Amino acid sequence: MKIYFILFALVWSGNCSLGLAATVDDAAKKEGQLVLYGTTAVDHQAKITEGFTRKYPFIKFENFRGNSERVLNRVLTEGRTGTYLVDVINIDGPNGLLLKDRGYLQPYKSKETESFPEQFRDPEGFLPCCLQVTTSVIGYNTRLVPKNEAPRSFHDLLDAKWKGKIGIDGDSSEWFAALMHIWGKEKTVDFFRGLVKQEPSKHRGRTLLAQMLAAGEFPIVAELFGYRVLEFQERGAPVEIVNADPVIARPWHLLLASKAPHPNTAKLYIDYLLSVEGQQLMAGLGRVVVRPGVKQKFPRLTEGVKLYPAKPEPAKSYEEIVKLYYSIVK
């Protein structure tokens, strides 16, 4: 009798799980649409969309792409006007926490998050981690900078010989905030003031900066996403990385909008990209993923490297940090 009961319980539990999945799938089929606001580069998002819609061909996919600032402002503007179009928001942790604090998110505890390292999880489910993490590296052009002369640390960038030869992203407030957690305010502010004195060439977008570095527009970029540099290197570009300490691991989240018009398709999308299949897709694109058991395309970015997970700030604190950043990097 006991054996029969256990078998019945297992079958019942399995059927319930299948039933819940079927319920979400059926509801998603009725919704038939998904609207994403995200920061993923166009070429990579095209691959992600292809994988998702191949698995769920009944879903019409719409995507708005911008940097974190543009995505954030679009969500905030829709909230102020009462026009709720977005289902899933793909954005970095600090801006994600700001959206949470202002009531623009609802929790979703995807079963897939249970497989992720604890330090990257959100027990409340508002900021489930993670689609990927981006690691901050120094990038240099190997035709312009010999390996033995390349900077080995961020403070090496303040050497007078690099004045007027550095590229930076003018919208690096999240890097600034992450360094403040590790270095403290005084050291971080001093570093950025020193960097500004180096008369860097400011541009928006790290992909653009990696392209310009490969083209020899400047010898060095102060902070790039490691995967992009190695991606260009793989194509034959004369670029190299330096995993300068601290290597910030910046989580990028998939967030469920509080007023999502299509919440069930949103949950399918989040589950898919956090699953082994979705994480393998991300890793195949060269992105750094933290789900155990998924093979990295560029192991140099993580193997033997101490990663510092960027911790999101409460909204008010982050806004103050951003103001401080832009007062320095004008």
Q: Which helix (H) or strand (E) holds 233?
A: helix 226-234
Q: Are residues 124 and 264 in the same domain?
A: yes
Residue 106 forms part of a structural domain: yes
Long-range contacts of 204-212 (CB under 8 A, 24+ apart): 204/67, 204/169, 204/170, 204/171, 205/67, 205/169, 206/169, 207/41, 209/139, 209/167, 209/168, 209/169, 210/139, 210/239, 212/167
Residue 129 has pLDDT above 80, yes or no: no
Matching residue, tokens 């951003």: 322
187 and 236 share one domain: yes
- The answer to whether residues 40 and 184 belong to one domain is no
For residues 142 and 214, give the distance between their C-alpha atoms in angstroms, rounded to a whole number.
9
Together in a domain, 127 and 7: yes
List of residues 6+ apart from 280 with CB closer than 8 A: 294, 295
Report the domain count for the chain. 2
Question: pLDDT-based confidence at 15, cuts 50/70/90?
Answer: very low
pLDDT for 12: 42
Average pLDDT over residues 308-322: 77
- 201 and 162 in a common domain: yes
In this prediction, residue 22 has a pLDDT band, given cuts at 50, 70 and 90, of low
Write the pLDDT tens digit of every residue in 27-50.
Answer: 989 999 999 999 998 999 999 999
Residue 18, in any domain of the structure: yes
Rounded to whole angstroms, what are the CA distances from 180 to 186, 246, 248, 269?
A: 8, 11, 11, 33
Looking at the predicted structure, is the pLDDT value of residue 3 above 80?
no
Residue 314 lies in a domain: no
The verdict on 143 and 208 lying in the same domain is yes
Strand segments, DSSP code E, in 1-126 are 33-38, 60-65, 88-92
pLDDT in tens, 199-209: 999 998 898 99
Q: What is the pLDDT of residue 23?
A: 77
**In a domain? residue 307:** no
Q: Do 102 and 164 lie in a common domain?
A: no
pTM, to two decimals: 0.78
CB 166 within 8 A of CB 212: no
pLDDT at residue number 4: 42
Alpha-carbon distances of 263 from 123, 260, 312, rounded to whole Å: 20, 5, 25
Q: What is the pLDDT of residue 95?
A: 85
Q: Domain range for residue 188? A: 133-249+320-328
Instruction: Report if residue 225 sits inside a domain.
Output: yes
Residue 251 has pLDDT above 50, yes or no: yes
pLDDT of amino acid 20: 47
* Residue 79 forms part of a structural domain: yes
pLDDT at position 293 is: 92
pLDDT of residue 123: 86
Average pLDDT score over the chain? 90
pLDDT band of 330, cuts 50, 70, 90: confident
Would you say residue 308 lies in a domain? no
Confidence of residue 315 (pLDDT cuts 50, 70, 90): low
41-55, 91-105, 157-171: segment of lowest average pLDDT: 91-105
Q: What is the pLDDT of residue 68?
A: 85
CATH code for the domain of 284: 3.40.190.10
pLDDT tier, 18 (very low <50, low <70, confident <90, very high otherwise): very low
Q: Is the pLDDT reported for residue 239 higher than 50?
A: yes
Neighbours of 2 (CB within 10 A): 6
Q: Which amino acid is at 120?
A: F
Q: Is the pLDDT of residue 13 over 70?
A: no
Q: Could you tell me what percent of the chain has a pLDDT over 90?
A: 73
If asked whether residues 124 and 137 sit together in one domain, one would say no
What pLDDT sits at residue 314? 62
- If asked whether residues 62 and 202 sit together in one domain, one would say no
What six digits make up the tokens of 245?
């300490």
**309: in domain:** no
CB proximity list for 210: less than 8 A, separation 6 or greater? 139, 221, 224, 225, 228, 229, 231, 232, 239
Instruction: Please indicate, yes or no, whether residues 243 and 259 belong to a single structural domain of this protein.
Output: no
Residue 122: predicted pLDDT: 86
Same domain, yes or no, for 8 and 117? yes
d(CA 127, CA 117): 14
Looking at the fold, whether 145 and 276 belong to one and the same domain comes out as no
* 270-297: pLDDT as tens digits: 999 999 999 999 999 999 999 999 999 9
